[in-house]
Structure 1
Amino acid sequence: MPFESNDLRSTLPTTKEVIPERFSAAEHVQFGDLPPVEKGDGVSTWYARGQNFVVGYSDLDGTATFARRDQPDEYVVLLADDGLSATASSDRDEIAVSGRTMLVLPPGDSTVTITGQGRVIRLLTTRSDDIASLAANAGSYDERHENIAAWQPWPDPVGGFKIRAYDLTVPPLSNPPFRLFRCTTLMVNFIDPKQGPRDPAKMSPHKHDDFEQCSIVLEGEYTHHIRWPWTTNKANWRADEHQTVKAPSVTVIPPPSLHTSEAIAPGRNHLIDVFSPPRSDFSAMEGWVFNADEYPAP
């Protein structure tokens, strides 16, 4: 993959290239163009999904409670702004946090009450049928998308399931500048915001063989450049995409398309990535996943 030679992503393990015959489209959901699916006192919420995951995005100014009953697996709540605080409780434990934080909630019954002003992102698997059905692009997944491996949860966490909290302001890796956390169902790369457009001479086109990448734009504006392989059957070819999206938005990039995302706004640009299940290649890199000691790899 064409990363710069000093970018440690160039050392990621690769697999033998096998080009499939059929490809799925990318998904682009711009929440700012849509009415909220749920609207309450001081909170508006939108949803988008991929094959294995659902993103719930909420703008909050006040207090909101998000509850799950009989949740089948772990899910994640991201407090994306310093002005937010939360109390999370389950049938196992309770925890209070403030500021930019990633919460992992266990299966079963749980409640997260969040107060303040800012953005809240909830990440669940599509086993949560009630949430998956609310996605703006739910109809796109009436049929399974191509080339995605069968979903399996990763091993149970050390010490069993409980509420876990991770500080999203801890220093990122130096190379690449990632801040990676995982649980049994999801991996989150909470990258720091960047100022100004990306240097067009330093793009990083790459591909994934059998999993989707979910890119959530929290601030600014990005162009997602996506290119699908050509096969012997021209009927299966897809035109290149250069899709520009503004915050807040979700883009789901399908395998095995070649892709890279370019920040283009003159001010702050902030994009984070989500994968379900966690990425094996990132997890295989020593020290990359900040909570690997709590969540063993398969």
Structure 2
Amino acid sequence: MYGRNDLRASLAPQPRAPAPTGFKKASYARFYDEAPQERSELADSWYARGQTMIVGYSEAKAGAVFERIGQPDEYAIILPDDGVEIEIGIAEGSMVAEGKSVAFVPAGDSSVKVLKGGRILRLFTARAEDLAQKCCNAADYATDDPNVPPLEAWPDPVGGRRVRVYPGDVAPQQGRFGRIYRGSTIMVNFGDGRVGPRAPDNLSPHHHDDFEQYSIALDGDYIHHLRWPWISDSTQWIADDHERCAAPSVAVIPPPATHTSQGIAPGLNRLLDAFCPPRLDFSLKPGWVLNADDYPMPSPKEGAE
């Protein structure tokens, strides 16, 4: 049940997944309360994962370099703040991303050179096994989530191998939800957040049948409210979560838990939501995905879900 004026209430119903017989608990990574998994003179990096995706969060100075050798599939880079600048290079060429922006980087070898320091998010699929092993919550995924199907990438982008960079400050538009970009493996909703606590009488509890939501807190303080359904096997019931996480942090919300996140800080509360693979329901809404022309949707025979 979405809150007042929440545009997600207009999403088309999706085919229901089989009734669950068991559940996965949510996983929370509080980067502000943990030592980084990688540390150097120029960058500190933290990693957390879910069933399908890895979140890398870095605080980097100019001169830092992040390399991927033999990356198995496309990954995403998000610059959440103004004043940050990076150069993303692959064999076919390089692109500069500056200020608030979203980039998608092809599989294979790549490098990210920090030109102006700040916060950098890198989102990978869980097929990046070297990074999966580093995650602070890796033990939470020693067993698979029974309600998340195996990851299947969406079609390759139009125009072949190159780095694609998109602005993260596109103006809001009436009838369009958020600021959504998709690649072949990952979708991000790059919002602006809101100042002040969210009204407790206008939350948006909802659920997803068969995909995770990665809620990445960039600013502020949140309570993630989650409730799992009761099934006939009471040994599989999970108690409600009302988990408080400040920024920076990641909440991995499993299906089919009903969930909503409540910003509670007096200043800016800002989440970035990510999904792996991209969401079909968001993609079916005309105009919602800002780079839809670059990244085709699967045809029905390819299995869009």
Q: Tell me the TM-score normalised to structure 2 length.
A: 0.94
Residue 7 of structure 1 deviates from its aligned partner by: 3.0
Counterpart contact for 1:179–1:190, Cα < 8 Å = yes
Which moved further from structure 2: 113-122 or 272-281? 113-122
The residue that corresponds to 2:303 in the other structure is none
The residue that corresponds to 1:69 in the other structure is 69
Unmatched 5+ residue regions in structure 2?
A: 299-305
Aligned equivalents of 2:293, 2:268: Cα separation in 1: 33
Counterpart contact for 1:181–1:188, Cα < 8 Å = yes
Residue 19 of structure 1 deviates from its aligned partner by: 3.4
The residue that corresponds to 2:55 in the other structure is 55
The residue that corresponds to 1:10 in the other structure is 9
Aligned equivalents of 2:244, 2:156: Cα separation in 1: 38
Aligned equivalents of 1:176, 1:260: Cα separation in 2: 20
The residue that corresponds to 2:265 in the other structure is 265
Structure 1 vs Structure 2 CA RMSD:
1.4
Counterpart contact for 1:91–1:108, Cα < 8 Å = no
Aligned equivalents of 1:247, 1:5: Cα separation in 2: 26
Aligned equivalents of 2:90, 2:161: Cα separation in 1: 10
- 2:118 is equivalent to residue 104 of structure 1: no
Q: Size of the alignment, in residue pairs? A: 297
Counterpart contact for 1:9–1:176, Cα < 8 Å = no
Residue 90 of structure 1 deviates from its aligned partner by: 0.3
Aligned equivalents of 1:209, 1:290: Cα separation in 2: 25
The residue that corresponds to 1:127 in the other structure is 127
The residue that corresponds to 1:35 in the other structure is 35
- 2:181 is equivalent to residue 152 of structure 1: no
Counterpart contact for 1:177–1:191, Cα < 8 Å = no
Counterpart contact for 2:74–2:104, Cα < 8 Å = yes
Q: Secondary structure at the match of 2:261?
A: strand
Q: Secondary structure at the match of 2:56?
A: strand
Residue 143 of structure 1 deviates from its aligned partner by: 1.1
Q: 1:57 to 1:211 in 2, by over 3 A?
A: same
Counterpart contact for 1:76–1:103, Cα < 8 Å = yes
Which moved further from structure 2: 43-52 or 75-84? 75-84
Q: Secondary structure at the match of 2:115?
A: strand
Aligned equivalents of 2:60, 2:45: Cα separation in 1: 9
Q: For 1:233-248, list aligned pairs within 5 A.
A: 233-248=233-248
Q: For 1:112-191, list aligned pairs within 5 A.
A: 112-175=112-175, 177-191=177-191
Q: 1:297 to 1:203 in 2, by over 3 A?
A: same
Aligned equivalents of 1:20, 1:55: Cα separation in 2: 27
The residue that corresponds to 1:218 in the other structure is 218
Aligned equivalents of 2:224, 2:237: Cα separation in 1: 19
Q: Secondary structure at the match of 1:10?
A: helix
Q: C-alpha deviations, 1:140-161, integer Å up to 9, x for none?
A: 1111112002210000111112
Residue 5 of structure 1 deviates from its aligned partner by: 6.1
Residue 32 of structure 1 deviates from its aligned partner by: 1.1
Q: 1:5 to 1:223 in 2, by over 3 A?
A: closer
Identity across the alignment (%): 45
Residue 18 of structure 1 deviates from its aligned partner by: 5.0
The residue that corresponds to 2:302 in the other structure is none
Q: C-alpha deviations, 1:179-216, integer Å up to 9, x for none?
A: 00000000000110210000111110000000000000
Counterpart contact for 1:12–1:281, Cα < 8 Å = yes
Q: Secondary structure at the match of 1:140?
A: helix
Q: Secondary structure at the match of 1:62?
A: coil
Which moved further from structure 2: 163-172 or 273-282? 163-172
Q: Secondary structure at the match of 1:63?
A: coil
Residue 115 of structure 1 deviates from its aligned partner by: 2.7
Unmatched 5+ residue regions in structure 1?
A: none
Which moved further from structure 2: 232-241 or 114-123? 114-123
Aligned equivalents of 1:106, 1:18: Cα separation in 2: 34
Q: For 1:20-31, list aligned pairs within 5 A.
A: 20-31=20-31
The residue that corresponds to 2:278 in the other structure is 278
Residue 42 of structure 1 deviates from its aligned partner by: 3.1
The residue that corresponds to 2:254 in the other structure is 254
Aligned equivalents of 2:281, 2:184: Cα separation in 1: 16
Residue 71 of structure 1 deviates from its aligned partner by: 1.2
